Amino acid sequence: MPTRTLCEIFYHSVEDHRKPDHLRVKRDGAWRDVSSEEFRRAVEELSMGLRALGVERQDRVALLSENRPEWAYADLATLCAGAADVPIYPNLMPAQVLYVLNDSQAKVALVSTPAQARKLAEVRAKAPHLRYVIRFDDPPVEGMLSLDEVRARGREALAADPQAVKRLAAEVKPDDLATLIYTSGTTGDPKGVMLTHDNIVSNVHAGLGAFGEIGTTDVALSFLPLCHIFERMGGHYLMLEQGVTIAYAESVEKVPANMVEVRPTLMLSVPRLYEKMYARVLEKVAADSPLKQRIFRWSLGVGRRAFQARVEHRRPGLALRAQHALADRLVFSTIRARTGGRLRLFVSGGAPLAREIAEFFGAVGLLILEGYGLTETSPVIAVNRPDAMKPGTVGPPVQGVEVKIAEDGEILTRGPHVMKGYFNKPEATAEVIDREGWFHTGDVGVLDGGFLAITDRKKDIIVTSGGKNIAPQPIENLLKTHPLIGEIVMIGNKRNFPSALLVPNFEALQKWARENAVTAASPDELVRDPRVIELYDRTIKELTAHLAQFERIKKIALLPHEFTLEAGELTPTLKVKRRVVEQKYKDVIDRLYEGAAA
């Protein structure tokens, strides 16, 4: 029988895939395995402990934590108790945490580190529904329970009734609310997306059809926030369903080192990781000798031809196979070694991936399957597959998911993956789900031979004063593949030409500055140096020379610092808040348009 609820996925995982390393975590400098038995015991004890605290069916339990085994324990313990959890991004500010606590009416909150506990302590008095706070880590905090204390209460209850949690979990229905996930809120307050067990489980099964063969010998490195439905569905529940070992990265910064240590076979990521990896390879090649640079270019050309043959389901000729074997020994194996040497595939989601990057990774033997979806769709709508891929698209719709393109180009979708609605916001729900059940994504795209291609966000389309429509995302994604460019935001709505705010990759820029005798006391001074401005002007012109004249960026403003979450410029998933950035840098933008047309 296929699993129907997330509780069933958990019990299927720990009972049918018994293994000594169900989860892995690095503690005190060493990787430690969590067995299936230990995993089950932790979840069941915590679940009964939550019941002892008064958590009942469909109550909400908040979870403020980084990725770690305790995140999985708390999530599954809540679900098996019949309640719904409310994951909160650990990089949110206290006021944002308070908003989620109050809007969701969470009865209990679990927090990880002392830093997260301080956030709860700061706002707790303003959260009237919150009865208990449970901390994972020491030191003790007045008024908060420890995870061990709550598990001890659960142990007592289980001693009297060992099957209590499994029995309660069996009462959970597929259409029960599983989670409230608060959207990133690029505009307005975040909304609580109501996802049922069936929403997510249907997506797990649809996703498995796209992944191909994965199983108990695979290892997945988890580093995207589990608060995000992409990592939670694909990197958590889907992996549990198949018995894949889940290793939790120490942090985003430690991912490169953890990849070498864990040697994963599977990983989910947003494009930013691939962009940085790509930039690092190009930076290293640029520092190599002319001979090594020629070998790299030749190898990459061979790899691209071999990858294209795979995409087109052609067997490469004998000569290409021989060349590819040599290129693999000379170049590609070294690049793959930086991922641990065992990685079979990456999955990319959360934002558009530049085609050039997908083709580069495919060429070196690191397959990226790009997909697409939203929090409201649990999340996957479409994804490329090992046997059906087309770089530059997000693949065909997954099984059971309908997709159509509206007259204005907006992507609509319908199926079991579509959310129940926004929590306590019927009007907002009615705005995005029509009477026929079609969810309006807000994205613009086309269906190309059954493959879905995203062209832009509907609200992000730039319409110049001359009436020309420009989709900024594909252009921005292209430019971000250059090693000197960290982030870029195109401007130009109701203006007579497009311009851009550009954040340099300061590590690469400072290296260029040293090599070209450009001295600066600060990043602010560096980006105002005429030689640096000329470098970026020239780079932008070269990279956009193939675009239509009206699409080309005519002027740029270099910013002396990166966009940050703390400054309100990024969402918790590190997407740029375009409207916030435009408003914050209005004076800078206005100066770009002073005088005459470019």
Q: How does pLDDT run across 300-330, given as a tens digit for each residue?
A: 999 999 999 999 999 999 999 999 999 999 9
Q: Tell me the pLDDT band of 184, cut-offs 50, 70 and 90.
A: low
Determine phi and psi for 222, rounding to 5 degrees: -100, 115
For 430-435, the CB contacts below 8 A with 24+ separation are 432/376
Question: What is the arithmetic mean of pLDDT over 110-116?
Answer: 97
Confidence of residue 65 (pLDDT cuts 50, 70, 90): very high
Which residues, in sequence order, are CB contacts of 276 under 8 Å at separation 6+? none
pLDDT in tens, 204-226: 999 998 888 899 999 999 999 99
CB contact at 8 A, 368 and 347: yes
Alpha-helix runs per DSSP H in 64-177: 69-80, 94-104, 114-123, 147-160, 164-170
User: What pLDDT was estimated at residue 243?
Assistant: 98
The percent of residues in the chain predicted with pLDDT above 70, rounded, is 98
Q: Reduced to 3 states, what is the DSSP secondary structure of residue 415?
A: coil
For the chain, what is the mean pLDDT? 94
Mean pLDDT of 281-298: 94
Write out pLDDT tens, residues 228-253.
Answer: 999 999 999 999 999 999 999 999 88
Residue % of the chain over a pLDDT of 90: 84
Whether 437 and 414 have beta carbons less than 8 Å apart is answered as: yes
Looking at residue 175, its pLDDT comes to: 98
Determine the average pLDDT of the residues in 140-152: 97
Q: Is the pLDDT of residue 92 over 90?
A: no
The reported pLDDT for the residue numbered 424 is: 96
Q: Can you read off the two tokens belonging to residue 266?
A: 């599977």
| pLDDT category of residue 577 using cuts at 50, 70 and 90 | confident
CA angle 144, 148, 153 (to 5 degrees): 90
511 Cβ neighbours under 8 A, 6+ residues apart = 283
503 and 596 Cβ atoms separated by less than 8 Å: no
pLDDT of residue 386: 92
Query: What whole-number distance in Å separates Cα of residue 229 and Cα of residue 204?
Result: 11
Sheet holding 245-248, edge to edge: 30-34, 23-27, 245-248, 219-222, 266-269, 345-348, 367-373, 380-383
Model pLDDT, residue 144: 98
pLDDT higher than threshold 80 for residue 598: no
Q: Exposed, middle or buried: residue 33 (CB in 10 Å: 0-12, 13-18, 19+)?
A: middle
What's the pLDDT tens digit per position in 521-532? 999 999 999 999
Instruction: State the number of CA atoms in the 13 A half-sphere of 500 facing the CB.
Output: 27
Q: What pLDDT, on the 0 to 100 scale, is given for residue 548?
A: 85
Token readout for 453 is 């291609």
Which string of b and e fits 531-551 if b means at least 16 CB within 10 Å?
A: ebeebbeebbeebbeeeeeeb
How many whole angstroms from its chain centre is CA 492? 28
Q: What is this structure's pTM? A: 0.86
Q: What pLDDT score does 328 carry? A: 98
- Reply yes or no on whether the pLDDT at 596 is more than 70: no
Of the candidates 224, 246, 209, the one whose C-alpha atom is nearest the C-alpha of residue 76 is 246
Question: What number is the average pLDDT over the span 282-286?
Answer: 91
pLDDT at 188 over 80: no
Q: Above 60 in pLDDT, residue 428? A: yes
Nearest-CA neighbor of 526 among 501, 546, 506?
506
Task: Identify the pLDDT of residue 351.
Answer: 79
Answer whether residue 476 shows pLDDT above 80. Answer: yes
Cα 182 to its chain centre, rounded Å, is: 15
